Amino acid sequence: MAIFSKTCEYAIRAVFYIAHKSASGDRAGLKDIAAGIDSPELYLAKILQDLSRKGLIRSVKGPNGGFYVDADSLARPLSDIVEAVDGQGLFHGCALGLKQCSEINPCPLHDQFKSIRGQISDLLHRTTIGGFNEELIGGLLSLKK
């Protein structure tokens, strides 16, 4: 198992790609994004529809339409995408799947996993969607698989 689902990986890469285009005032079309992040186009369409419904990205139909993110969304943390797609599983719940594990009755790995999950949460919360743009512009980062 990877850390994120495949759907979530696509979502993150796509939003980065869209944010990058948005920074120069452009919108990104589905074909463009799918090619840019190396993902199946029609599956990505579903993911973007979902993110759009949830208000994480915006879309415009018709000629010269496409996806973009506004300034507010650029400032949003990466965790918003992860939660929208993969839910809270990475941050909460006993790692061993024990229902009775809690702060009051912790499993033997509870505190250690708590610390690690806290770090993942911190990382995803302090990293913003727009924060990758410099690196994308500098060409240091490719979003292709």
Partner DNA sequence: TAATAAAAGGATATTCTTGTCCTTTATTCA
Partner DNA sequence: TGAATAAAGGACAAGAATATCCTTTTATTA
Question: Residue numbers of the site for DNA (CB under 7 A)?
Answer: 5-7, 10, 28-31, 39-43, 45-46, 48-49, 52-53, 59-67
Count of CB atoms situated within 10 Å of the CB of 36: 19
* DSSP H/E element including 134: helix 133-137
Q: Which is nearer to DNA, 61 or 139 (CB)?
A: 61
Report residue 72 as tokens: 């507010």
Among its own copies, DNA, none, partner that 121 touches (CB below 5 to 8 angstroms by kind): none
Query: Shortest Cβ distance from residue 27 to its own copies (Å)?
Result: 23
For residue 60, count CB atoms less than 10 angstroms from its CB and return exposed for 0-12, middle for 13-18, buried for 19 or more.
exposed
Query: Shortest Cβ distance from residue 113 to DNA (Å)?
Result: 18
Residues that bind its own copies (CB under 8 A): 1-6, 8-10, 12-13, 86-87, 89-90, 93, 95-100, 105, 107-109, 112-113, 115-117, 119-120, 123, 127, 131-132, 135, 140-145
- Closest by Cα among 41, 63, 50, 42 to 8: 50
